[in-house]
Structure 1
Amino acid sequence: MRQEHFIARHRQEWAAFEQWLDVRATRPRRARHDPHWRGLADADVPAAYRRLARQSGLARRRGYSPQLQARLQVLVQRGHDVLYRPPRPRWWRAVEFLLADFPRLVRAEAGVMTAAALLFVVPLVASFVALQSHPELINTLMTPEQIADLEAMYAKAAQKLGRDSGGDLQMFGFYVFNNISIGLRTYASGLLAGVGPVLVVAFNGVMVGMVAGHLQAVGLGEPFWRFVPAHSAFELTAIVIAGGAGLRLSLALLAPGRQRRVDALMVAGKRGAQLALGVLCMLLVAAFVEAFWSSIGWIPAAAKYGVGAVLWALVAAWLLAGGRDRDAA
């Protein structure tokens, strides 16, 4: 077969394989899962690669031009590098999930996340403001003994803020258990058909707002505000995300659309489980920061606020920009 006939016969096949390699190199997962992709399918790639390897051998045996041989050899080598490279370690998949997949999933659920944020922030602000003019309202939430313990934890002379006893490692374990239990309850409340997540998220907002409002009203706002800014970036955001995941479960129960209710609940449960996994990681980070940084009483307020601002900015950038390259793919 003459070279020009050989090229004409296989040109489209080579172009399709090269296009698949290019897309795989720049947008690997999108190339595999985009329903609008019209190029070479993943299932057809091994057979296409074997044909390409045979065609490269034929080009050498028949003495076709060096340019054609070089082009085919490059495609064969690129295909070999993609198809036969070792798989990524499992830990890398976890990193990929946290850095890209989790933020994309949060953004995909923007509606319920916005609703959960409002359910949390509005009661928080309202209760904080209310405590400034009606400080006795704290008694509806706490007993006098609990109020006294709260004030002792934020005494201006305290070496460890936010706690009355316990070492850093001990408190880290306590914070992990406490934070994760709150996050999981918030998510699981979605099974209570809408009422659960609304009440749980709103109550958490009221609790935070009343604690902050009471401490501000009695003159202990400064140590409290030095305590909260760093770990709250992860903790409060995680509670909102857990609430959004719970709302998604509730919507699947109340408004499954054209799906059967059980099918809609399974889909929402799968997405919710992925969100809960990300929330778990965020709460672990929050517990670590709270135990080993936030509680230190002697660090100046400027340093505490600076670190808090940086962490809030990082969390916002992560959730808003993480995995954007895949969104655009």
Structure 2
Amino acid sequence: MKQETFVQRHQAEWAALEQWFDARGGSARKARAHRREWQGLSDFEMPGRYRRLCQQLALARRRGYSAVVTDRLQQLMQRGHGVLYRTPAPRWRRAVEFLLAGFPRLVREEKGVMLAAMALFVLPLVAIYVAIQIQPDLSSALYDPVQLAGMEDMYDPNDPQRALGRDDGTDVAMFGFYIWNNVSVGFKVFASGLLAGLGPILALASEGIRAGAVASHLQAVGHGDPFWRFVCGHASFELTAIVIAGGAGLRLGLNLIAPGQRRRIDALVEAGRRGALLCAGVLAMLVIAAFIEAFWSSIGWMPASIKYSVAAVLWTAVFVWLLAGGRNDLYAEQPA
């Protein structure tokens, strides 16, 4: 093939690559800011385009094309190499980027199982709460008298100087306890997905019934104000994390019983991989919840107005993070 024909055939490709490098190959922050305005090559096309460029450079050299052509292709190849093979970000930065963008994007990709998990948790919670408000004696069928007395003592409104919702342990000791307890619940809900999907259903429903029963009993006996002041802050992270863990468990169970066109083991491995990523985010949420629970929620003297205002901010932050996090990420999945 003559050089003129070669250049004419591939000129548009090279121009498109140059435009991408100029607009997208520099600052990642700037590229994310203008991502929606970009009309050129898709980011996901670049690995294939780069391989094709390397082939064209090899052909140009082998055929003895002029230095004008080979130098241009060499420069494009070097620019592409600098973008595609640059040193990856430090581990801590990649972890932060995953939590801020990758994790909420993964949660949205599993919207179906997440909504199902939320229903399995919230509906039993609301049902048992209403039932105990109508018939307070129902709480005795779920907890023995010693447990009920212990709950009432932890949230006694006549002892305002006492740390809410716990014994006399230090903040640091209780922080460790809350982490262990929260992570145990989250792992149980997720891992139960291996029981053909039945495990997360039972685990989510039981957690919802437990939370609803405790809240309703304390409200019914007049201890509701200390209880709500205690749980309102950390509940945004803790309850949402449990629902996400349940959604990951449901995905595990669905892939196990309905692998579709894939082999069952392949579907299970894929669900396990995605579940592990989701559980990494769930772990971070539960640690945050434990920190809030140990160092903020237990403060008994704090006015209710401040507690509820902070809780409203935390709930809003969690929803905005999960619904909007990662939407402007440079390498977020783009619609076909």
TM-score range, shorter chain: 0.7 to 0.9
Instruction: State the AA in 2 paired with 1:182.
Output: V
Q: Which residue of 1 aligns with 2:211?
A: 208
2:226 is equivalent to residue 223 of structure 1: yes
Alignment of 1:100-139 (within 5 A): 100-139=101-140
Alignment of 1:20-31 (within 5 A): 20-21=20-21, 22-24=23-25, 26=31
Q: CA deviation at 1:75?
A: 6.3
Classify the secondary structure of the residue corresponding to 1:175: helix
Q: Which residue of 2 aligns with 1:299?
A: 302
Alpha-carbon separation, structure 2, partners of 1:189 and 1:6: 60
Q: CA deviation at 1:136?
A: 1.4
Alpha-carbon separation, structure 2, partners of 1:188 and 1:84: 37
Classify the secondary structure of the residue corresponding to 2:254: helix
Q: Which residue of 2 aligns with 1:41?
A: 49
2:153 is equivalent to residue 141 of structure 1: no
Alpha-carbon separation, structure 2, partners of 1:115 and 1:131: 25
Q: CA deviation at 1:265?
A: 0.9
Q: Which residue of 2 aligns with 1:62?
A: none
Q: Are the counterparts in 1 of residues 215 and 224 from structure 2 also a CA contact under 8 Å?
A: yes
Q: Which residue of 1 aligns with 2:166?
A: 163
Please list the CA deviations of residues 121-168 of structure 1 after superposition, one character each: whole Å capped at 9, or x if unmatched.
001111111111211111222221111111111112243111022010
Quick one: structure 1 residues 164 and 100, their matched pair in 2 at CA, closer, same or farther if it must change by over 3 Å? Answer: same
Taking only the aligned residue pairs, the percentage that are identical comes to 57
Alignment of 1:243-282 (within 5 A): 243-282=246-285
Q: Are the counterparts in 2 of residues 24 and 31 from structure 1 also a CA contact under 8 Å?
A: no
Q: CA deviation at 1:86?
A: 3.5
Q: Are the counterparts in 2 of residues 154 and 162 from structure 1 also a CA contact under 8 Å?
A: yes
* Partner residue of 1:193 out of 193, 196, 199: 196
Q: CA deviation at 1:253?
A: 1.6
Q: CA deviation at 1:77?
A: 8.5
Unaligned runs of 5+ in 2: 36-40, 61-65
Q: Are the counterparts in 1 of residues 54 and 77 from structure 2 also a CA contact under 8 Å?
A: no
Matched pairs, number: 313
Alpha-carbon separation, structure 2, partners of 1:48 and 1:88: 30
Q: Are the counterparts in 2 of residues 17 and 45 from structure 1 also a CA contact under 8 Å?
A: no
2:92 is equivalent to residue 91 of structure 1: yes
State the Cα RMSD in Å. 3.3
- TM-score w.r.t. structure 2 length? 0.82
Alpha-carbon separation, structure 2, partners of 1:137 and 1:220: 17
Q: 4+ runs of 1 displaced by more than 4 Å? A: 4-10, 44-52, 71-81
- TM-score w.r.t. structure 1 length? 0.84
Instruction: State the AA in 1 paired with 2:14.
Output: W
Classify the secondary structure of the residue corresponding to 2:164: coil
Unaligned runs of 5+ in 1: 60-68
Alpha-carbon separation, structure 2, partners of 1:269 and 1:79: 34
Q: CA deviation at 1:11?
A: 3.1
Instruction: State the AA in 2 paired with 1:239.
Output: I
